[in-house]
């Protein structure tokens, strides 16, 4: 009897021990699972969520265009050379409108667009504007993911900036865009012209932009399209050095609407102004505080400039909210306007600042 009681007690003790071990193990497993869940949750942030949200609306673009060149020995003989290129784009509506750069697809005779689901479409060029470097494509598809425009006038230096695109054609590997993250470094950057394209009011970012990123979207932390990746500053380097530029969204929306309705941007106005960039000698002669600006040297007869009341030797230092550094910037700023707009010229005349209004008349 004692032996039987001892055996029962021993069995109870063993069962209690096993139960404790099991409960302890279960608790540890649950704690590990909870810890892993917490870690996974911590990895998710506003950037990763925005990337997941916007990536399906990014596309890779392959273009074919014809480059003409003349025979060196006989300039009357012209050759057509087919050239292929690549770039990026973003879907901006569910019915297949795609935003990219003019220098990516504006001169193409064929543009093949690849979506993140692997489907490919031949895109139609709805319109392209070389001056602003904006091109609008269209594919025949519906219910597509797209990126909504944000307000580029509301962005701040220092806020997150996420650049998407197809650098070096890497989109082709798995039909997914590459993503780089940085901040908005500066706004309202006016850059000199290149190939008859004027880059005014640009967004500067340190999010890495490389060859093939052109035309891709630059979005803010909540996934709004604030700009289109367009230029990089290389400083002699072959790759990114932390200075990239994007065309601001508000300018893009204006141009896109014109391309949709007219197929082009109409800048058929004139000023009749002849100007010269201020140099140190001119600045010294007119006792100017700096050598920024332009001096009026001549007028065309019956021109808007004459009607405005501007005078010879007026020093132009600004147009509306834009500051004028030189002749190229002044010309570039005027491309932001349209026929019929009234432009406020900020000038220095007889050592005093004043404002003169000019209506841009049809040429």
62 is catalytic: no
Given 90, 132, 178, 214, the catalytic residue: 214
Number of H helices, E strands in the chain: 8, 20
Cα 155 to Cα 222: distance, rounded to the nearest angstrom: 12
Q: Are the C-beta atoms of 187 and 22 separated by less than 8 Å? A: no
Question: What are the start-end ranges of the E strands in the chain?
Answer: 58-70, 78-91, 97-100, 108-114, 120-129, 134-138, 160-165, 178-194, 197-205, 217-219, 225-232, 244-248, 269-270, 273-277, 294-299, 315-319, 322-323, 342-349, 352-359, 361-362
Euclidean distance between CA atoms 295 and 314, whole angstroms: 6
> Which residue among 102, 129, 133, 314 is the active-site one?
133
∠78-84-88 over CA atoms, to 5°?
A: 135
Distance CA(223)–CA(220), nearest Å, equals 5
Catalytic-residue membership of 172: no
Cβ atoms within 10 Å of 239's Cβ, excluding its own:
12
Cβ count within 10 A of residue 110: 14
Per the CB < 8 A criterion, the answer to whether 134 and 252 are in contact is yes
Token digits for 60?
Answer: 């890779």
Cα torsion 92, 97, 100, 105 to 10°: value is 170
Residue tagged active-site, from 103, 132, 185, 308: 103
In eight-state DSSP terms, residue 324 is: P
C-alpha 235, offset from chain centre:
20
Task: Specify whether 274 is catalytic.
Answer: no
What's the helix, strand, coil split of the chain in %, to 5? Answer: 30, 40, 35
Please answer whether residues 142 and 95 qualify as being in contact, where contact means their C-beta atoms are separated by less than 8 angstroms. yes
The residues assigned a catalytic role are: 103, 133, 214
């Amino acid at each position: 009897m004692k032996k039987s009681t001892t055996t029962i007690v021993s069995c109870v003790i063993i069962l209690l021990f096993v139960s404790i071990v099991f409960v302890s193990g279960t608790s540890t497993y649950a704690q590990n699972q909870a810890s892993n869940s917490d870690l996974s949750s911590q990895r998710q942030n506003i950037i990763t969520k925005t990337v997941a949200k916007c990536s399906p609306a990014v596309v890779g673009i392959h273009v074919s265009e014809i480059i003409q060149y003349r025979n060196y020995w006989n300039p009357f003989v012209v050759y057509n050379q087919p050239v292929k290129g690549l770039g990026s784009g973003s879907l901006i509506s569910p019915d297949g409108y795609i935003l990219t750069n003019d220098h990516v697809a504006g001169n193409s005779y064929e543009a093949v667009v690849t979506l993140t689901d692997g489907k490919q479409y031949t895109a139609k060029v709805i319109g392209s504007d070389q001056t602003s470097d904006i091109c609008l494509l269209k594919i025949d598809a519906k219910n597509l993911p797209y990126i909504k425009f944000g307000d580029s006038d509301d962005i701040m230096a220092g806020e997150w900036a996420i650049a998407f695109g197809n650098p070096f054609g890497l989109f082709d590997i798995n039909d997914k865009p590459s993503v780089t993250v940085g901040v908005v470094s500066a706004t309202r950057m006016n850059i000199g012209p290149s190939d008859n394209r004027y880059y005014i009011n640009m967004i500067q970012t340190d999010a890495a932009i490389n060859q093939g990123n052109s035309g891709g979207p630059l979005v803010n932390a909540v996934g709004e399209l604030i700009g289109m990746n367009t230029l990089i500053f290389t400083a002699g380097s072959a790759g990114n050095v932390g200075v990239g530029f994007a065309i601001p969204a508000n300018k893009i929306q204006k141009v896109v609407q014109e391309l949709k309705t007219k197929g082009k941007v109409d800048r058929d106005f004139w000023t009749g102004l002849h100007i010269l960039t201020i140099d140190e000698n001119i600045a010294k002669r007119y006792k100017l505080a700096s050598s920024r600006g332009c001096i009026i040297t001549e007028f065309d007869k019956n021109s808007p400039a004459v009607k405005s009341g501007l005078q010879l030797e007026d020093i132009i230092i600004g147009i509306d909210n834009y500051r004028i550094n030189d002749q190229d910037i002044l010309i570039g700023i005027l491309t932001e306007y349209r026929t019929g707009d009234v432009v406020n010229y900020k000038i220095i005349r007889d050592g005093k600042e004043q404002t003169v209004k000019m209506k841009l008349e049809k040429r």
